[in-house]
């Protein structure tokens, strides 16, 4: 049995089939490409997986890297699936779980897409990658590129979390700040890539393998529940690569027969300050309109125009899911609630999922008996400024009241 069961790439829009063993971007029709596997050839069982090291490469048959020696790893994956009993009771959803991506290299789930994307790019002979980012993906791709010996070119909004800038710089990325949004950074990167032979554009869904890395969140949730699926998965959606990946993972697991039953209802969470997917979902549309003047403290989900919008919406409709927008005020309050009740300092994007659970329970969309998994996509440590810590400063000669 080969290390990877990858067979080809296909276009989810026009159906065209593409060779997976040469460097590919998007389809000629403009759509992202998705990796397909010979799942019927996979002889591995969940029991075999259980004996493998605790990182995302334990699912290597379902990942695109053809040879184990091409794996570039910092130990990513198998993050905890934590019960949140006190928060769950407070929200009226006692079976509340959190997939906690704060315990992963670089502190966000972006490490998954970077590990798989960089490994496969290097395996196909790519020597340099280029990408626009809201910060976290740039940091992750920079460190994995460094580990693989690849060059990286990154552009991010000047307002992106400062620590991600430091991480790119430390890893030796060629980094530019843009006085604008991620779309502006994307235009600059596309123009630079056109001038620089050998650079691969690794923007969201412009190469096929980042989504394969993010898919492993779905594989892990199923494995950690004993190869069973939860009722609902709640995901903070920007470009939507994570939710597209989770949906893809769960369908592959069904096809393999490793899980059975209904797919979880998938919930895309956005901010009221940038909610193009929520608006499209509410209109019953299959594509979104660009969101004017996007703004939220949950910086990772400030994506006004997602190229994979139709894939996100398909995942919501096909699973009987929904889309919810929450305010910054609500998500900041819930960031505090999670820390106080459960001892976990989560990122604002993860906190948005908690606010969405609160809303969906109040509206009755969630029942008290539902088993709900929220994704905390990163550590709160990346965004120290979102939590005001007003504390007294004492002189050395002072005393504590
Ligand atoms: C912490 C965090 N959460 C969520 C997202 C959204 O990711 P996706 O592209 O999977 O929607 C991002 C993207 O930058 C992020 O940094
Ligand atoms: Zn196509």
Rounded CA gap, 209 and 118, in Å? 9
Nearest to 316 by CA among 278, 351, 348: 278
Condensed to tens digits (0 to 9), the pLDDT of residues 27-59 reads 999 999 999 999 999 999 999 999 999 999 999
Q: How far apart are CA 273 and CA 295, in angstroms?
A: 5
pLDDT given for residue 388 in this prediction: 85
C-alpha dihedral over 110, 113, 115, 118, to 10 degrees? -120
Nearest-angstrom CA–CA distance, 380 and 140? 16
> How much distance in Å is there from the Cα of 109 to the middle of ligand 1?
8
Those residues whose C-beta lies under 8 Å from the C-beta of residue 293, and which sit 6 or more positions away, are none
First to last CA, the chain: 68
Would you state the structure tokens that stand for residue 355, as one six-digit string?
């606010």
Which is it for the CA torsion 172, 178, 183, 187, positive or negative? negative
Among protein residues, the one whose CA lies closest to atom 15 of ligand 1: 300
The residue whose CB lies within 8 Å of the most ligand 1 atoms, and thus the one to mutate among 300, 304, 346, 356, is 300
Going from the Cα of 236 to the center of ligand 1, the distance in angstroms, rounded, reads 7
Which residue is closest in CA terms to ligand 1's atom 2? Answer: 300
Nearest ligand, measured from the Cα of 352: 1
Which atom of ligand 1 is found nearest the CA of 382?
1
Number of C-beta neighbours around residue 196 at 10 A: 12
- Sequential DSSP letters for 85-128: HHHHHHHT-SSEEEEETTSSGGGBTHHHHHHHHHHHHHHTT--E
Q: How far apart (Å, rounded) are the C-alpha atoms in residues 75 and 56?
A: 8
Ranges under pLDDT 50 in the chain? none
For position 1, what pLDDT does the model report? 76
Q: Are 134 and 238 in contact (CB under 8 A)?
A: yes
Neighbours of ion ligand 2 (CB under 5 A): 11, 13-14, 16, 27, 29, 31
């Amino acid at each position: 049995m080969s290390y990877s069961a990858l067979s080809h790439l296909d276009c989810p829009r026009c159906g065209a089939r593409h060779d997976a063993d040469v460097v590919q971007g998007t389809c000629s029709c403009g759509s992202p490409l998705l990796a397909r596997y010979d799942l019927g050839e996979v002889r591995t069982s969940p029991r075999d997986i259980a004996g493998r090291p605790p990182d995302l490469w334990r699912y290597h048959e379902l990942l695109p890297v053809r040879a184990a020696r091409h794996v570039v790893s910092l130990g990513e994956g198998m993050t905890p699936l934590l019960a949140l009993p006190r928060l769950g009771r407070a929200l009226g959803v006692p079976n509340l779980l959190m997939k906690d991506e704060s315990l992963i290299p670089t502190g966000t789930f972006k490490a998954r897409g970077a590990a798989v994307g960089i490994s496969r790019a290097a395996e196909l002979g790519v020597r340099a990658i280029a990408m626009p980012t809201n910060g976290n993906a740039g940091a992750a791709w920079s460190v994995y590129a460094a580990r693989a010996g690849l060059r990286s070119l990154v552009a991010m909004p000047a307002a992106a979390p400062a620590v991600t800038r430091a991480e790119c710089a430390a890893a030796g990325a060629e980094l530019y700040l843009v006085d604008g949004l991620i779309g502006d950074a994307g235009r600059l990167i596309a123009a630079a890539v056109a001038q620089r032979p050998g650079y691969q554009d690794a923007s969201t869904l412009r190469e096929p393998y980042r989504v394969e890395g993010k898919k492993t969140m779905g594989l892990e949730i199923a494995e950690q529940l004993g190869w069973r699926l939860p009722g609902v998965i709640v995901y903070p959606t920007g470009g939507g690569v994570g939710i597209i990946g989770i949906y893809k993972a769960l369908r592959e697991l069904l096809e393999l027969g490793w899980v059975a039953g209904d797919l979880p209802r998938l919930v895309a969470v956005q901010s009221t300050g940038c909610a193009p997917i929520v608006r499209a979902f509410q209109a019953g549309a299959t594509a979104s309109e660009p969101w004017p003047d996007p703004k939220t403290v949950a910086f990772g989900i400030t994506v006004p125009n997602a190229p994979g919008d139709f894939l996100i919406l398909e995942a919501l409709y096909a699973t009987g899911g929904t889309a919810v927008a929450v305010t910054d005020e609500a998500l900041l309050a819930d960031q505090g609630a999670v820390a106080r009740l459960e001892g976990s300092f989560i990122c604002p994007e993860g906190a948005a999922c908690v606010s969405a659970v609160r809303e969906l329970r109040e509206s009755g969309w969630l029942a008290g008996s539902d088993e709900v998994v929220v994704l905390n996509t990163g550590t709160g440590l990346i965004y120290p400024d979102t939590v005001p810590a007003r504390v007294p400063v004492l002189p050395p000669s002072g005393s504590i009241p």
